[in-house]
Amino acid sequence: MPRRNSFMKWWRDFRWPIIGASGVLAVCLGHIGFATHYVLVDDPRSFSDALYLSLQLFTMKSGFIDPPVPWELEVARLLAPAVAAFAAIQALAAVFRDHFQLVRLRFWKDHVVLCGLGEKGFALAKAFRECGDRVVVIERDALNSFAGRCRGPKAVVLAGDATDMETLRKAGVERSRLLVSVCGEDGTNAEVGVNAREMTKDRSGEPLSVIVHIVDVELCGMLQSAMPAGMPGAAMVDFFNVYEAGARTMLGEWPPFSPNENSREDSPRMIVVGMGRLGRNLVVHAARDWHFTRKNESTRLRIACIDRDAAAKVRSLSLRNPGLEGACDLQALQMDVTSPEFEEGAFLFGPQGRCDVSAAYVCFDDDARSLATALKIHRRLGANNLPIVIRMVQLSGLARLLHCGVYGPRPSGSAVGKKVGEGGPREDFGNMHAFGLLDRTCRPDLLFAGNVEKIARAIHEAYVLQQKGKGFSAGTNPSMVDWDDLPDSLKKSNRHQARDIDRKLKDVGCRIVPFTDWSAELVKFTPEEVEIMATMEHDRWCEERLRSGWSYAPGPKDIVKKTSPHLITWEGLSEEIKEYDRNTVREMPIYLARVGYRIFRIKGK
C-alpha cells in the first residue's frame, strides 16, 4: 500500500510532463516513420507532408497504410491516439467533475464534511485522509490554491457556501459522522454549526458530531453554555480554538512550573513575547493551572508579558479574567523586539544579575520574526539552558532549521563546538523548540480535545477511582483502563454524559457560565437537586444503552451479549448503583472548573 500511494503521488505530480513528452515523441517518430515509408515505396514526400500526416495520427486519420511499415510508425500510431484519449478523458473529467463528485457522494456515508479550505482546513483534510477517512470539503472560492491538492480518491471538493443548507445537503451531511467548520469568520462557523444541528435533528442512530472553530475564546464559552442540549438525534456541537488548544499543548510539553503540589521550587517566572491570541491564551492557562494546582502555596507565579502595546493588552486581559491578577503577578513590559532595550535583555535577569526565568514563549504570527526574536533571547542567556518555545505556523520552512544539524543539539566528544564535517564554530540551539501551531492543533485526535472531551475524561477517571476503591481492577472490570485504551463505544458514552450536563443543570435552575472569578466558591447541590439529576442521568444512560442494542437481563453485566441488570427504572435500582450516579452529579462543579466553567444559580429558580 505505501508503494502504491507513493506511485500515485508521483503520477499526480508528473503526469502532464510525461504526457506532453509522449506527444512530442509520437510526432517525431511519426514524422520519421512516414518519411521512411514513402522512400521505401519510391514516393518521397516533403517535410511538411510527413509532419502533417504525423499530426493526423492523434485523430487516427493517417495511420492506415500499406506495408512496409517502419517500426517508428508502428510505435507512433499507437502512442499518439493513447495520448489524445488521455487528454480527452482529463478534459471531460474537468468539465463534468462536479457532476461526477455529486454521483460519488450519493454512495458515501460515515464520511467527514470539512467547511473552509484555508491553512487550517488543508491541514485537517490532509490529516483525515492519512487516517483513511473520506473527506468532503466545502469551499466558497472555486479557485482556491489548496483545492487541487485536496482532491483524490478519498477527497471531494465542492464549490459553494457552507452556510447554505442545500450545499450541506449535497455534501451528504445527513449521512456523515463528523462536520468540522474552519471558515475565516466566527459568525460563519457558528451558522454552519446551527444549520447542521437543525438539518440532523430528526436523525436516527448515532448523532452527528459538529466541531466549530471560534477564534474568540470568550465567545467560545458563551456559545458552549448557550447551545441547547438534550434534543434527541440532534447534532452534538462542540467549539474548537487553535490558539486555546495550542496554549494547552505548549504548556503541557514545556511547563513553566512543576504541576506537583508538593514541589518546593522557588517562585517560577515565565516570559511571553507577543501578546496576540496565542500569547494571551498562554497567560490565562498558565495562571489557571497555577491557581487550581498550587494555590495553597506561599509562592506566586510570575508572568512577564512583552509587546509593543503590553500595558493595554495586559489590562484588557485582566478585565476579561478578574481572577488573573489574584492568581499570579503580571508584569507588562512595553518594548519592541527590535529595540536596543530588548537586545540588552535585562528582563531575563533578577536584581542580583541571575537568570530567574523558567521558560520563554515567543508567540508572533510571523515565523521569521519569531525565530529572530528567539535567537536574541538565546544568545543573551548564554549558558542558561531554559526552554525557549517558538510559535510557528507549521513545522516546515524556518521551523526545519531547528531540527537539522546547524540548529540541533551540540554533538558530544571532539565534535563539540563544530559543524558536522566542518571545523568552524557552532552554537548549541538544543533548548530552542519549534511549535507548529497548525501541525499540533489541526489533527483529528485533538479536534475532540475540547471542553466536552476533557469533561468526559474526568468522568471516566472518577469512575476508575470509584471502582478501585471498591476493590475492582482492569482484570475484573474491562472498563477500568486508561482513556486512550478505552473502547470507542465507552468513550462515546462518556461524551454523551458530558454533553447532557447542561440539560440537567437547567432542570434544577442552574446554568454553565465561564469561570472568570477563580476565587469564587464552587456550587454545592442540595440532596433534592442531586436526586433529580441522578435520576435524569440514569434515564439518559438507559436510553443510550437501549439505542445501542443492549437489553435487560438479571445477573452480572455481559458486554458480549449486551445485557445489564441495571436497565430498569430508578426506583428499582439498589442504593449502591444509585450512589454511583449521585457521586457523578456531586462532582459536576469540579469537572467544569477544570475546563474553565462554573455552575451559576439562576435567580428566582
Closest by Cα among 215, 251, 210 to 231: 210
Strands (DSSP E) contained in 407-565 are 432-436, 510-514, 551-552, 563-564
CATH code, domain carrying 481: 1.10.490
Predicted confidence at residue 525, as pLDDT, reads 93
User: Which of the four pLDDT bands, split at 50, 70 and 90, describes residue 455?
Assistant: confident
Residue 171 is assigned to a structural domain of this protein: yes
Please state, for a pLDDT cut of 70, what percent of the chain lies above it: 84
Final residue of a structural domain among 49, 78, 93 = 93
Q: What is the domain extent for residue 211?
A: 98-240
Cα distances (angstroms) measured from residue 73 to each of 41, 408, 450, 458: 15, 58, 66, 74
C-alpha cell at 214: 471560534
Cα distances (angstroms) measured from residue 539 to each of 41, 194, 601: 94, 27, 24
Report phi then psi at 565, rounded to 5: -80, -5
Predicted confidence at residue 405, as pLDDT, reads 43
Q: Estimate to the nearest angstrom the gap between the alpha carbon of 477 and the chain centroid.
A: 32
C-alpha cell at 589: 462543579
Residue 255 is assigned to a structural domain of this protein: no
> How many domains does the structure of the chain reveal?
4
User: Which of the four pLDDT bands, split at 50, 70 and 90, describes residue 99?
Assistant: confident
Non-local (6+) Cβ contacts of 594 within 8 A are: 292, 454, 458
Q: Are residues 151 and 215 in the same domain?
A: yes
pLDDT tens for residues 352-401?
Answer: 888 889 999 999 999 889 999 999 999 888 877 889 999 988 766 555 66
Between residues 153 and 564, the one the model is more confident about = 564
Q: Are residues 219 and 335 in the same domain?
A: no
Strands (DSSP E) contained in 462-523 are 510-514
Residue 261 is assigned to a structural domain of this protein: no
C-alpha cell at 543: 436510553
pLDDT tens for residues 532-560?
Answer: 999 999 999 999 889 888 999 998 888 88
Looking from the CA of 422 toward its CB, the CA atoms found within 13 Å total 8
* CA gap 488, 219 in Å, rounded: 30
Give one DSSP letter per residue of 337-376, joined into a string.
Answer: TTSHHHHHTGGGB-TTS-B--SEEEE--S-HHHHHHHHHH
Q: Are residues 111 and 18 in the same domain?
A: no
Q: What is the mean pLDDT of the chain?
A: 82
Residue 456 is assigned to a structural domain of this protein: no
